[in-house]
Amino acid sequence: MRALAVTAVLLALLLTSLPLAQSPAPIGVVSPAGRRVLSTAVVNDQEYVALDDVAAFVPLTLREDRQGGLSITVRGKTIVAPRDRALVSVDGRVVALPAPLTRMGGRWLAPVEFLPRALALVAESRIEYRRGSRLLLIGNVRVPRVTTRVEPVGSGTRVTMEIAPPVGMMTVTEADKVMVRLDADALDVAPVTGTSPVVTLVRAEAPATITVGIAPSAGDIRAAASNNDTAARVVIDIAAPVQAPDVSAAPAAPAAPALVSKGGLQTVVIDAGHGGDDAGVRGSGGTLEKQVTLDVARRLKTVLESRLGVHVVMTRDDDRAVSPDERTATANNAKGDLFVSLHVSASPAPAMTGAAVYFMRLDREGEETRREAGAQSLALPVLGGGTRVIETIRWDLAQARHVEHSGRLANLLAAALEGHVPMTPQPVQAAPLRVLAGLNMPAVLFEMGYLTNSAQEKRMTADEGRTALVQAVYDAVNRFALAGGR
Amino acid sequence: MKRTFLFGLAGFTALALMAWGVDAGLQYLGRTASPDAPVAPAPPPTPTAHITATLFYGARDGLLLHPVRVEVRLAEGPVAQGREIVRALLQPPPAPYVSVIPAGTTLKAFYLTSGGDAFVDLSADVSAKHPGGTHAELLTVYAVVNTITTNLQGVQRVQLLVDGKEADSLAGHVDVRRPLERDTAFVRQEPPPAVVQ
């Protein structure tokens, strides 16, 4: 009896799934909620989606009428699909479809084209279907198209990526690969054209990274990025393989640099200065401080996470106003090991240029707080017996305990910047800074340059300039980590 | 003819006596109506008394503050003198210096505590019109703090207020929640220049 029941259930499942049996690869659905998939089935050479699956992305209700047709209600508007007719009426407007909606196995199926042609007209948010890449975009998501071309140039190889529309991006070059991380929700990647023996792979990884694998035998790798109004471009030039030296005569080559140790660092907090109504400094060319700081912060997060393996917390990841106390609380609650606040400068003197690094300067009150911090310890009983000693310190002067390490971090950052970024005559300064005062971790405020200087404004808006800033912060954090966070 | 002359002289004398009597009467009435008014005759006009104060302005290169000796009107007592000094600092500086305090900023209040703290209440322009940037904000803050602590004996710290209220910062960077001490890290170290009239 039990076997019969199981057989009946399996048979029912088989019958139900028959119309969807001939299934191509599912459609990728990208929405602000994340990435999901939507199964499809091909019936009579027409690809269909099940409307109850679509309801998971776009709330809709189905009601069959007496003539065998279907009414679909979305946000109070109705789509009427007459029986066996390759059209629907969308809120009174007739829309042609390649095939009628059909009922199979207890489910209503609609041609894939129903989504952009009919459902998009009544849905609350954007619905766009990209047939070539089989992506369904719902809502306000950024999914740039990426086309990659591999071609020989001289004796070397060039990999060119076109990204349209342009988005923020970060390129990370390592010994055997170049990673291009895009500020996007997903990628619409076209097949790669061309091949080269030194390009071992071109792979897209979720959510929005493209990795170009490069053979170990390849020569120097140079990656450059540029932007215009319609597209961004990354050009990776790979020099021809270097002739192998006579190993019997030459000393052993140094090993390729491995991923660095993250030392005692677990969590790094990056603070993009200003935001929302508080735009910060406005450059002579119109560049806003809040935009520069956020973009550099995002790039820095990518680099620190991918190369140091640390957890990066951002005090803001979008264009919103955040109070100093909120920034401090975010960092302290995340138990950050390090805090870097990003800013740019302004001056009434347009010629003024250079970067500077600040750390907290304590006044008499702060010095007293620091001296008393160790003395004011509380021994609290804990469950299971014993005690736990807790050092107390004023919450608004928590930085007092860390000023020495903060100063060291500031000096490391200034040293990493030297030679790569113009510096002010006093590149490291101590000052009473609001965002640093309550931080319970080594912390610095990095003024990346003067937006009121047109040359520096150009540099800070260019990919190359921002990459140099990110690289310097990365180097400083890495050295600080190698020293055990001291 | 002689008679006519005598009549004229007598009439002129009578008119002069009447004028003297009316003037004396008015003076008497005036004294009775304003008993508190000063009775001493007004002193002859003299040049306004000044002190030479050291004010801190920005250099053209935007790097540091410069101490500049400027004549400021003498006032009665440290509070009034402090007000005069801050008002002078808020005026456009003499060439070749530049102001590091946003134009239009005014002094709303100034007072001293017995503990040696000065409270300087500036109008909201000091914040709203500030160009931003940590360095520029440090120059603004320490132009005020150093000016007051340099010129008013006994004042050790300066608490900045904006539009009558305590503020976190002027432009998002420098912590002005607590009184600030003098800091010469942002001041060019050089011999003081000549007095600017």
Cβ distance of A433 and B175 shorter than 8 Å: yes
Short-list A465, A467, A447, CA closest to A456: A465
Interface test with B, best of A347, A394, A448 (most B CBs within 10 A): A347
Q: How far apart are CA A276 and CA A405, in angstroms?
A: 32
Cβ distance of A364 and B181 shorter than 8 Å: yes
**Residue B134 included in any domain:** yes
- Total domains in the fold of chain B: 2
> pLDDT by residue (tens digit) across A292-351?
999 999 999 999 998 888 999 999 999 999 999 999 999 999 999 999 999 999 988 888
Q: How confident is the model at residue B37 (pLDDT cuts 50, 70, 90)?
A: very low
User: Are residue B128 and residue B166 in the same domain, yes or no?
Assistant: yes
User: Are residue B57 and residue B30 in the same domain, yes or no?
Assistant: no
Q: What letter represents residue B143's amino acid?
A: A
Alpha helix ranges (H) inside B48-133: 77-90, 125-128
Angle, vertex CA A152, rays to CA A146 and CA A157, nearest 5: 70
User: Are residue B158 and residue B70 in the same domain, yes or no?
Assistant: yes
Q: Report the pLDDT averaged over residues B16-38.
A: 47
**Residue B101 included in any domain:** yes
Short-list A485, A312, A328, CA closest to A399: A328
Cβ neighbors of B90 (< 8 A, separation 6 or more) are B99, B101, B105, B106, B107
Short-list A125, A104, A93, A118, CA closest to A40: A104
Chain A residue whose CA is closest to B134: A345
User: Are residue B21 and residue B62 in the same domain, yes or no?
Assistant: no
- The more confident residue out of B30 and A52 is A52
User: Are residue B64 and residue B132 in the same domain, yes or no?
Assistant: yes
Q: What is the pLDDT of residue A16?
A: 46
Q: Dihedral sign, CA of A178, A184, A186, A191?
A: negative
Q: How confident is the model at residue A290 (pLDDT cuts 50, 70, 90)?
A: very high
**Residue B191 included in any domain:** no
Q: What letter represents residue B112's amino acid?
A: L
Q: How far apart are CA A317 and CA B114, in angstroms?
A: 47
Residue A100 corresponds to which tokens in the numbers above?
A: 């009628």
Q: What letter represents residue A72's amino acid?
A: I
User: Are residue B58 and residue B25 in the same domain, yes or no?
Assistant: no
pLDDT exceeds cutoff 90 at B46: no
Query: What are the φ/ψ torsions at residue A263 (nearest 5 degrees)?
Result: 55, -135
Q: What letter represents residue A461's amino acid?
A: T
User: Are residue B19 and residue B60 in the same domain, yes or no?
Assistant: no
User: Are residue B17 and residue B82 in the same domain, yes or no?
Assistant: no
The residue range of the domain holding B125 is: 50-181
**Residue B190 included in any domain:** no
Q: How far apart are CA B2 and CA B10, in angstroms?
A: 12
**Residue B172 included in any domain:** yes
Cβ distance of A363 and B175 shorter than 8 Å: no
Q: How far apart are CA B130 and CA B112, in angstroms?
A: 26
**Residue B137 included in any domain:** yes
**Residue B31 included in any domain:** yes
User: Are residue B54 and residue B31 in the same domain, yes or no?
Assistant: no
What one-character-per-residue DSSP string does A38-68 give? Answer: E-EEEETTEEEEEHHHHTTTS--EEEE-TTS
> pLDDT by residue (tens digit) across B92-119?
999 899 999 999 999 999 999 999 899 9
**Which chain B residues touch A323 with a CB distance below 8 Å?**
168
User: Are residue B24 and residue B112 in the same domain, yes or no?
Assistant: no
Q: Would you tell me the crossing angle of helices A463-482 and A454-461 to the nearest 10 degrees?
A: 80
Alpha helix ranges (H) inside chain B: 2-33, 77-90, 125-128, 134-151
User: Are residue B107 and residue B31 in the same domain, yes or no?
Assistant: no
Q: Across all residues in chain B, what is the average pLDDT?
A: 82
Domains, chain A: 16-138 (3.30.457.10), 145-238 (2.60.40), 267-482 (3.40.630.40)
Q: What is the pLDDT of residue B179?
A: 95
3-class SS of residue B31 = helix
From the list B61, B168, B181, the residue facing A351 with the nearest CB is: B61
**Which chain A residues touch B138 with a CB distance below 8 Å?**
431
pLDDT exceeds cutoff 70 at A262: no
Q: How far apart are CA B50 and CA B72, in angstroms?
A: 5
**Residue B82 included in any domain:** yes
User: Are residue B98 and residue B64 in the same domain, yes or no?
Assistant: yes
- The more confident residue out of A23 and A249 is A23
Cβ distance of B174 and A347 shorter than 8 Å: no
Q: How far apart are CA B67 and CA B143, in angstroms?
A: 9
